[in-house]
Amino acid sequence: MKKLSIYLLPALLVLSLFATGCLSNKTSNPVPYPSGTFEGQFRLLHKKLNDSKIDTLKKATIQLVLESGVGYKVLGDTATVHAGSKGHYGINATYIAFDDETYPKTGTPAKIHLYGNYLYNYDGSTNLIILVNQGDTLNYRYDLKRVN
């Protein structure tokens, strides 16, 4: 019996250490969601199939207004590359989904709309990066800073 208790002692010690680690009452901070007015560059990035270089084909300075519970709108340089748009959006810790009310019901739009599901990264106060892959060689990237 004495030998058995000597062998069980390290296992009980490890088990008690794991158990005390689970008892702590730490609360995690909630993920901050972006809201307010953001301004910056929209870039259409293209990578050729047999080349490692990424080209910025088109860019525009835009403004994105996110109002929680209300919706979103895109303003700024919307004359040539990016369309002005508005609608509702949904957000979680990783993705933001835009439902653009101005997106055409049929056909292909002449300009890029903020429409669909996008990955995003928000630092909690200033910088917002929104990214979507359109196939193997084309990406849309929004590098925005909070202005209000």
Delimit the domains of the chain by residue range.
36-146
Q: Please report the pLDDT score of residue 17 as a whole number.
A: 56
Q: Please report the pLDDT score of residue 25 as a whole number.
A: 62
Q: Please report the pLDDT score of residue 2 as a whole number.
A: 52
pLDDT < 70 regions, the chain: 1-26
3-state SS record for 17-80: HHHHHHCCCCCCCCCCCCCEEEEEEEEEEEECCCCCCEEEEEEEEEEEEEECCCEEEEEECCCC
- Which residues, listed in sequence order, are joined to residue 66 by a DSSP beta bridge? 36, 72
Q: Please report the pLDDT score of residue 15 as a whole number.
A: 63
Q: Please report the pLDDT score of residue 35 as a whole number.
A: 95
Q: Please report the pLDDT score of residue 11 as a whole number.
A: 63
Q: Please report the pLDDT score of residue 112 as a whole number.
A: 93
Domain at 36-146, CATH from 3.30.1370, 1.20.120, 2.40.128, 3.30.56: 2.40.128
> How far does Cα 75 stand from its chain's mean position?
20
pLDDT tens per residue across span 78-94? 999 999 999 999 999 99
Q: Please report the pLDDT score of residue 57 as a whole number.
A: 75
